[in-house]
């Protein structure tokens, strides 16, 4: 990880890697800070920039970089926010699985203008969210409104993008701590990135030559077309080691790992916008919220990791039409086509998951969903009559660009008044790589009922390559 404190920490390395490959590349850049912003053109020239890279709205922390930000829906009377990495948290690195939500904080930093001059000290009043699990982010609420900071400094916050960034887009990385700027492009997304005890999902891989330095942790990734924040800089492979501290590795669908010396990565930030209420507060129980939730925090009503048979039934109504790729509980084999990861060969925990045809076959399309819909249904689950009930599960839907909106993945609850869809994703005519994500759904309206959960996936139109999976399904009472 890129904070300077990371240079001095020593924690246990990960064990049990199935296979390792190391690729040599250019070494990391110097971590020496300069008085004026140095711009590093670390990627081939792209389209003309519509946003001029600068250090405007960056923040210099005592150990990291940060930025002054707002949500797309924020209004000027809202408090401004400060975005940095979870590993830049003032209390030190967070443990794997640790999530901090809505805590008092007095973290401060120096707000910089475009030329890197400190124009004010900004101070937090709350840590809204921080984790190093699933992603690596920390978001603080400051003690002044957006309008107040703009009036006093002339600086407006950067806007956190509400959408997944596109592959190949140009962005720049302005580091307030180092007063340096890197110009880069996105070179794909990593379904699973691992560093020491931490695992991150759908990470941003930087273009070759875009090698960041220690101290740039927490810097925003700013889209040069829109000026919006599409990610946050968090790590680089320092010396070619595999999955160790400061040496992240990419975990393939079959469980093998690769590490590239000098390769840098960032984490996506649109996840915050998936968890916002209408009043712009973070609610981790919102359906579709991608941010990692704290472990525990309630009573477990039902939980299944699918390591053993617990009574799930495939094709419960006898109406499924899929001829291959039917739902099974099993140890999945990874598949890909044309460089697009489809069926994931790794699970969130343990060995097994629910998957649409666990085998790989000789071609990626041998055991994917074909011919229509496949379904699988839980045993009966009796819900308590009180409290807030939340369904949480890991999932993915993957397909090639021969898919359409007729293809789908959905989760339904069968209760006393019928069947209700509580989560749904549809296909599209684009490549969608498989990557584990977390979804939640509020089941409080089913309190006191005995329900069943049904999971469906379909290749429902012309023949296309579609895969899906589900892991670690839990119902919590809070």
**Residue 47 pLDDT class (50, 70, 90 cuts):** very low
Tally the C-alpha atoms within 13 A of residue 80's C-alpha that lie toward its C-beta. 25
pTM, full prediction: 0.60
**Tokens representing residue 434 in the block:** 């498989």
> Best-predicted range by mean pLDDT among 181-185, 191-195, 276-280, 355-359?
181-185
Does pLDDT of 350 surpass 90?
A: no
Q: What is the pLDDT of residue 3?
A: 55
Q: Is 183 exposed, middle or buried (0-12, 13-18, 19+ CB in 10 A)?
A: buried
Q: What is the pLDDT of residue 38?
A: 55
The mean per-residue pLDDT over the stretch 377-398 comes to 92
Closest to 20 measured CA to CA, from 239, 188, 192, 240: 240
| Structural domains of the chain in order of their starting residue, each with its CATH number | 4-275 (2.40.10.120), 299-477 (2.60.120.200)
Q: What is the pLDDT of residue 131?
A: 94
pLDDT tens digits for range 289-327:
999 988 765 678 898 989 899 999 999 999 999 999 999
214 vs 17, more confident: 214
Neighbours of 110 (CB within 10 A): 18
The mean per-residue pLDDT over the stretch 188-214 comes to 94
First to last CA, the chain: 35
Q: What's the gap between Cα 69 and its chain centre? A: 19
Q: What is the pLDDT of residue 412?
A: 97
Q: What is the pLDDT of residue 361?
A: 77
pLDDT tens digits for range 76-95:
999 999 999 999 999 889 88
Pairing of strands 38-41, 180-195: parallel
Does pLDDT of 362 surpass 90?
A: no
Q: How far apart are CA 437 and CA 89, in angstroms?
A: 24
Q: How many separate helices (H) and strands (E) can be counted in the chain?
A: 1, 32
Classified as helix, coil or strand, 149 is helix
Place of tokens 């999530």: 99
Average pLDDT, rounded, for the chain: 87
């Amino acid at each position: 990880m890129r904070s300077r404190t990371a240079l001095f920490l020593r924690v246990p390395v990960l064990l049990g890697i199935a296979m390792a490959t190391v690729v040599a590349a250019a070494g990391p850049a110097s971590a020496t800070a300069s008085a004026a912003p140095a711009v590093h053109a670390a990627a081939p020239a792209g389209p003309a920039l519509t946003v001029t890279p600068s250090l405007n709205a960056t923040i210099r922390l005592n150990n990291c970089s940060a930025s002054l930000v707002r949500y797309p829906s924020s209004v000027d009377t809202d408090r401004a926010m400060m975005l940095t990495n979870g590993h830049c948290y003032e209390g030190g690195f967070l443990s794997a699985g640790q999530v901090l939500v809505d805590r008092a904080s007095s973290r401060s930093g120096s707000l910089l203008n475009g030329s890197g001059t400190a124009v004010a000290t900004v101070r937090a009043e709350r840590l809204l969210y921080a984790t190093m699990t699933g992603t690596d982010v920390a978001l603080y609420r400051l003690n002044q409104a957006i309008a107040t900071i703009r009036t006093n400094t002339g600086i407006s916050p950067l806007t956190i993008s509400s959408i997944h960034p596109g592959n190949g887009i140009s962005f720049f990385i302005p580091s307030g701590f180092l007063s340096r700027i890197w110009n880069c492009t996105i070179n794909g997304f990593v379904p699973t990135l691992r560093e020491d005890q931490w695992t991150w999902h759908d990470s941003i891989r930087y273009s070759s030559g875009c090698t960041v330095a220690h101290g740039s942790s927490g810097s925003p990734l700013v889209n040069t077309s829109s000026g919006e924040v599409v990610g946050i800089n968090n790590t680089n492979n320092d010396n070619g080691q595999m999955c160790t501290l400061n040496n992240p590795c990419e975990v393939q669908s079959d469980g093998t790992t690769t590490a590239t010396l000098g390769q840098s990565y960032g984490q996506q930030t649109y996840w915050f916008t998936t968890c916002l209420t209408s009043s712009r507060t973070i609610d981790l129980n919102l359906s579709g919220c991608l941010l990692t939730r704290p472990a525990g925090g309630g009573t477990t009503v039902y939980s299944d990791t699918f390591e053993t048979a617990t009574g799930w039934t495939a094709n419960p109504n006898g109406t499924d039409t899929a001829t291959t790729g039917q739902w099974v509980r099993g140890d999945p084999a990874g598949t890909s086509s044309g460089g697009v990861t489809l069926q994931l060969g790794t699970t969130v925990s343990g060995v097994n998951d629910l998957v649409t045809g666990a085998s790989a076959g000789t071609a990626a399309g041998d055991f994917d969903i074909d011919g229509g819909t496949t379904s699988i249904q839980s045993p009966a689950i009796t819900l308590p009559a009180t409290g807030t009930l939340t369904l949480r599960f890991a999932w993915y839907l993957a397909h090639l660009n021969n898919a359409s909106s007729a293809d789908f993945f959905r989760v339904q609850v069968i209760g006393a008044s019928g069947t209700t869809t509580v989560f749904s994703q549809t296909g599209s005519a684009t490549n969608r790589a498989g990557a584990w994500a977390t979804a939640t759904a509020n089941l409080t309206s089913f309190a006191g009922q005995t329900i069943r959960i049904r999971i469906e996936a379909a290749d429902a139109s012309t023949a296309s390559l579609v895969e899906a999976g589900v892991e670690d399904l839990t119902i919590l009472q809070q």
